[in-house]
Amino acid sequence: MFRSFLILSTALGLGLSACSAKPSAETASSTQTESAAPVLSTAVVDTAKLQTQTIAAGFKAPWGLALLPDGGYIVTEKMGGIIRVAADGTKTPLSGVPDSYQARQGGLMDIVLSPNYAADSTVYVSYAYGDSRANGTAIFKAVLGEDSLSGETIFKTSPPKDTANHYGAKLAFMPDGNVLLSMGEGYSYREQAQDLDNHFGKLLRLTPEGKAAPGNPFIGKDGALPEIYSYGHRNPQGLIYDAASGTIWMHEHGPKGGDELNRIKAGDNYGWPVATFGIDYSGAQISPFETYEGMTDSIYYWKPSIAPSGMAMVRGDMFADWSGDLLVGGLASRDLRRVKMDGGRAVSETILLDDLGLRIRDVRVGPDGAIYVLTDEKSDGKLIRVTPQ
Ligand SMILES: [Ca+2]
């Protein structure tokens, strides 16, 4: 608490003018510059007619989805399984899955393919390691066989924490071959998101072997961990690298209100918990600041929260009108959001799949342009293909 007070006192002393930045939906336009104020979500239900096809069901809290080049899929289950799904929906549980810490938000989480998957058949899986007293987020690197994984853990966040919340755990590869891992602030360690001597509330950039990637912004800085790429995050659970624009997009859960979409730049501070559009679940104020000088604003935010999970960018001919827009899964909102992008800004948002009424945990776009979502259910999670009607 003392630490929290110190940060806020310092913030108060430096400039109340930061408080006056009032975001407005009307400010959205394609001519905005990068310094424009964050845009507040004012989503409306989309009238687009969509067709949904359940490819496979019965997953136990499915969390991460990867699309295989052969038309199949890999689904991770938070509750400990990794399932290969053939194009026809046949499910094969894999052996060789890493042991994970199963509690609250912890378990098996994301999965992505190596950029050289065609040659190395390698996948990267994130999971919660440890126990109730000392746990964190780890990366397991493995060769995928027909019904098995064979690999090892190559990275663990530090220091360990004693909460079972806010693991981040989203993975995304960059074109330089390095991999990004998002890490939450463990819920109870939010002040540490502002410190560079730990992995709480950070985006990390690692080599394919799990080491700090060359060129990371804080390498050589006293007391800073070399894996850190950006900081001041809360619990980021949507992460993509858009090769067409060379942009890292990441969203994060806010507290009560204030989920954010951020454009990530190396070395930037994204504000948590000094700047936020949200308040504590108790109703208490976390910070008087929505934005703060020297900290990078989100480009877009949700208030009330949708609890964003998973993200993909629309590409391809199937949804050509939506090309370049971001898709964001909504857990609390029980729908899929399409955030229309123009010139690197979010300009409007529509609600998809609200008729399903299901929590959406992950979303990906296939090479054919179809949209794939995972629904978050403890015993009957579904993999659903979404196409135009
Ligand atoms: Ca922020």
pLDDT tens digit sequence for 214-247 = 999 999 999 999 999 999 999 999 999 999 999 9
Q: What whole-number distance in Å separates Cα of residue 314 and Cα of residue 103?
A: 33
pLDDT tens string 16-46? 333 333 333 333 333 334 568 999 999 999 9
Residue 245 Cα to ligand 1 midpoint, Å, equals 22
pLDDT of residue 20: 35
Is 251 designated active site?
A: no
Which one-letter DSSP state was computed for residue 296? P
pLDDT tens string 311-351? 999 998 999 999 999 999 999 999 999 999 999 999 999 99
pLDDT band at 13; cut points 50, 70, 90:
very low
- 61: β partners: none
Residue 16 Cα to ligand 1 midpoint, Å, equals 18
Q: What whole-number distance in Å separates Cα of residue 111 and Cα of residue 141?
A: 10
Q: What whole-number distance in Å separates Cα of residue 101 and Cα of residue 107?
A: 5
pLDDT of residue 222: 97
pLDDT band at 10; cut points 50, 70, 90:
very low
pLDDT tens string 131-178? 999 999 999 999 999 999 999 999 999 999 999 999 999 999 999 999
pLDDT of residue 382: 98
Residue 299 Cα to ligand 1 midpoint, Å, equals 9
Q: Shortest CA distance to 70 belongs to which of 144, 172, 167, 169?
A: 144
Q: What whole-number distance in Å separates Cα of residue 98 and Cα of residue 101?
A: 10
Residue 124 Cα to ligand 1 midpoint, Å, equals 27
List 166, 233, 251, 253, catalytic entry: 166
pLDDT of residue 305: 97
pLDDT of residue 376: 97
What is the dihedral sign for C-alpha 224, 225, 226, 227?
negative
pLDDT of residue 9: 39
User: Would you call the peptide bond into 217 cis, given omega within 30 degrees of 0 as the criterion?
Assistant: no
pLDDT tens string 268-313? 999 999 999 999 999 999 999 999 999 999 999 999 999 999 999 9
Residue 252 Cα to ligand 1 midpoint, Å, equals 8
What is the dihedral sign for C-alpha 234, 237, 240, 245?
negative
Please state, for a pLDDT cut of 90, what percent of the chain lies above it: 89
Task: For 120-134, give one letter per residue: b (16+ CB within 10 A) or e.
Answer: eebbbbbbbbbeeee
Domains of the chain with bracketed CATH: 2-6+38-388 (2.120.10.30)
**Higher pLDDT, residue 55 or 6:** 55
Residue 362 Cα to ligand 1 midpoint, Å, equals 22
Q: What whole-number distance in Å separates Cα of residue 60 and Cα of residue 76?
A: 9
pLDDT of residue 35: 65
85 contacts 75 by C-beta, under 8 angstroms: yes
Which one-letter DSSP state was computed for residue 38? P
pLDDT band at 47; cut points 50, 70, 90:
confident
Residue linked to tokens 């985006």: 203
110 contacts 123 by C-beta, under 8 angstroms: no
pLDDT tens string 174-218? 999 999 999 999 999 999 999 999 999 999 999 999 999 999 999
Residue 271 Cα to ligand 1 midpoint, Å, equals 4
pLDDT tens string 63-93? 999 999 999 999 999 999 999 999 999 999 9
